[in-house]
Structure 1
Amino acid sequence: MRSKRSTTTNEDETRANEMASPTASAASAATSASHYQVPSLTSTLGLFSVVVLVCSFRIFDKRMILPYANAIQNTDMDLENAYGHSAALCAIQKDGLRYIDEWVIYNLAIGFETIYLYDNSEHNELAPWHDQLPQSTKERVVIRHFPSFRAQRPAYTLCWEDIRNRKAHSWIAFFDLDEFLVIKDRTKYPQLMDLLDSLSLEYGGLAVNWVMFGFNGQTTYEPKPVTLRFQKRDANATNPLVKTIVRAQITPNVRSAHFVKYNASETMRTRDTNGKIVGGARNEDLPNDVAALYHIHTYSFGEFKERCGRGDVAKKKSEWNMVLACKPNQTILEEINYNETVYDPACWELLKERAPEYVAKFI
């Protein structure tokens, strides 16, 4: 992990401040204009020349500002004051009512301030669920009905744009209902923002690798928390695929469920917990010592097969029958063949610590 520090030099900061300040630039332009020798100020042509000259300086000033507009994002004042000092979670779901209570409780417990849920179900199934939430939870969970095909990227983009426009949060994560962020050292980083605050200003986003959990020998659904049901994994369960927690101020450009793209003028980049730039959906270094995203990949075998009829929020309807859940049982078992010998109850332990009333219902 790198300590939080500015990556700009004093000269860079001075130049950026000058170019990003309309008042300073306009004053500079006006000073230059006052020394300009107009041939004939008393003639109509002369007056026209003055107007054109001043306007030209202002247009030039605007064009000079734009390339440096993103430079001011690398100041502590902009990051900590202009945007709310908190993290938000954006997600899209369909047919997830069996799992959503646990997932919401978990993510609020680790430090997400607000969860934005886009409901891809046809009949807005989250509305009655949301109505019955305790008031303290309801205030931190925002739902939006979003019934369409291939809705994941559009939903993420809308969520990001809304948060960015309102400057409501400083960080945004894009996770699914079967993904649980695990911060390994909760003494050093008790809450998510403690980890995010430790990142240097060169981080536009934090890439976190998947840790995969499979069937755990289960064949059917049980009405218990998934973090209790699935606690065994392979010794080599860390997966190259990542999910991203991104700074809200970055220009929204969701390339997939796994990574974001940056404008050329933006100097920040997505990095892993070791500071390495992660330019796409994969990080083959597999860092998992600081943070990891525990992915309950399948649930039970029966629950996994249900995905065939439910469809996929990231795919066209014509592609639904191509997903692995629609393949023959033997093919599925050959594809998902984890050697689940490592006991890893990290998610359940966090719930026991921070949501004891919820956990007490199941023990």
Structure 2
Amino acid sequence: MKAILRWRRALADHSLRKKPDAVTLVAIARNEGTYLVEWLAHHLAIGFDRIVVYDNESQDDTRALFKALSPRDLRLRRIPWPSPLDNSAQVLAYHHALTGLATPWVMYLDLDEFLVPFGHADMAGLIGSLPEDVSSLHVNWRSFGSSGHTEPGYGLITRAFTRCAPHGWGNHYHFKTLARARDISAVRIHDVCHHRGRRVLSDGRGFANTSDGTSDRVVYEGVQINHYQCKTLPEFQARMRRGDANFPNGHPGRLRDETLARFEVLDRNETEDHAIRAFDAPFEAEYRRLCAILGRDPALSG
């Protein structure tokens, strides 16, 4: 069975290499099983051709989810990824993804980030809009708060949390990167380095280079990243306790601030944003399909 699955994947990968707008989504996750199905369904719905999740020592149902889903959907792959003793599991995973990449394009996101190409029909439309001399598109965050929710059990993240920080909030200067794989020379958490081509924001203009994954302005020209870093206080604190995958186990930098004070700084709800709802129809189709494979009730609420 495993040999047959490898053969099917190899054939699928071979065909993707000929598709100029094909794109792989790469993430690293630890105990994110609660959110995986919605996150996978959304990114399949907007047109990612591959989704590769590096499982960083999860102790929840992440492995079981992929064991059920991957044979039925060749776009989905899980790679076990233990934390090294002296390096960033996240950065190493991101570089490793390049070694087996079957698509010309790659993007790196976290499980609390949902790409929303609201000005395009799908990822192919977004990629097709980029000039040939662009090697990387850097997409700004739009950070969502708790929207009045205080406990888990609210249903879908993308429907429960609709309130976010105003446009110019400082955290929105952060971005994540969509890049031509052939041009990448190094990968960071938010950014990539490349040896040719232009770096642009979604307005098509370049920006000052940074070392911390921030831009010199906040732009949402047809695409944004919905960043659900808060959700509810209990979920925020659980996420902080999972630690920062940018640091090895035992490193002081792995510790994250889980205090109420930190949550309140991030819990911004001044404005409303429903851009993600443009993809309701394809999302619901993918979500129902994945839930059917898993034998779950596709509760489309929030």
Amino acid in structure 2 at the alignment position of 1:355: F
CA distance in 2 between partners of 1:124 and 1:309 (Å): 15
5+ residue gaps in structure 1?
Answer: 1-79
Among candidates 127, 151, 161, match of residue 220 of structure 1: 151
Q: Which amino acid aligns with 1:171?
A: W
In structure 2, relative to structure 1, the CA distance for the partners of 1:180 and 1:98 (3 Å cut) is same
| CA offset digits 1:259-298 (Å, max 9, x no partner) | 11123xx2x1321122222423111221112211110011
Matches within 5 A, 1:22-101: 85-101=21-37
Q: Distance in 2 between matches of 1:249 and 1:300?
A: 40
What SS does structure 2 have at the residue aligned with 1:253?
strand
Q: Partner amino acid for 1:179? A: E
1:342 shift after superposition: 2.3
Question: How does the TM-score come out when normalised to structure 1?
Answer: 0.68
Q: Which has the higher relative contact order, 1 or 2, with Cα contacts under 8 A spaced 6 or more apart? A: 2
Match of residue 342 from structure 1? 271
Tell me how far apart the structure 1 counterparts of residues 36 and 168 of structure 2 sit (CA, whole Å): 24
In 1, the alpha carbon distance for the partners of 2:204 and 2:279 equals: 29
**Among 91, 109, 112, the residue aligned to 1:153:** 91
Other-structure match for 2:10: none
Q: What is the SS of the residue equivalent to 2:192?
A: coil
Distance 1:284 1:81 in 2: 34
Cα distance change, pair 286–146 in 1 and its aligned pair in 2 (3 A): same
Q: Structure 1 residues 232, 140: CA separation in 2 closer, same or farther (over 3 Å shift)?
A: same
Measured in 2, the distance between the counterparts of 1:216 and 1:180 equals 17
CA distance in 2, matches of 1:290, 1:85: 17
Contact 1:205–1:244 (CA<8 Å) still a contact in 2?
yes
CA distance in 2, matches of 1:219, 1:299: 8
The 1:134–1:122 alpha-carbon spacing in structure 2 relative to 1, beyond 3 Å, is: closer
Deviation at 1:84, TM superposition (A): 5.1
Partner SS for 1:261: strand
- 1:195–1:95: structure 2 CA closer, same or farther, 3 Å change rule? same
Change (3 A) 1:308 1:243: closer
The 8 Å contact of residues 116 and 141 in structure 1, kept in 2 or not, is answered as yes
How does 1:151-190 map onto structure 2 within 5 Å? 151-163=89-101, 168-185=102-119, 189-190=120-121
Q: Which secondary structure state, in structure 2, belongs to the residue aligned with residue 199 of structure 1?
A: coil
Give the one of 229, 245, 250 matched to 1:313: 245
Counterpart of 1:140 (choices 54, 75, 85) is 75
Change (3 A) 1:260 1:161: same
How many Å separate the matches in 2 of 1:337 and 1:125?
28
2:295 corresponds to which residue? none
Deviations along 1:116-143, one digit per CA (max 9) or x if unpaired, are: 1100025585331112227543x11011
Confirm or deny: 8 A CA contact 2:32 2:62 kept in the other structure. no
Report the alpha carbon displacement of residue 351 of structure 1 after superposing the two structures with TM. Answer: 4.7
Normalising by structure 2, we get a TM-score of 0.80
Structure 1, residues 55-91: CA drift from partner, whole Å, max 9, x if none? Answer: xxxxxxxxxxxxxxxxxxxxxxxxx976654011011
The answer for the alignment partner of 1:5 in structure 2 is: none
Please give the per-residue CA displacement for 1:203-227, whole angstroms capped at 9, x wherever unaligned: 1110100000122222221161110
The answer to which structure has the higher helix fraction is 1
1:285-325 deviation digits (Å, cap 9, x = unpaired):
21112211110011111111113432221123332674121
| Structure number with bigger Rg | 1
1:184, CA displacement in angstroms? 2.5
Q: Retained in 2: the 8 A contact 1:124–1:145?
A: no
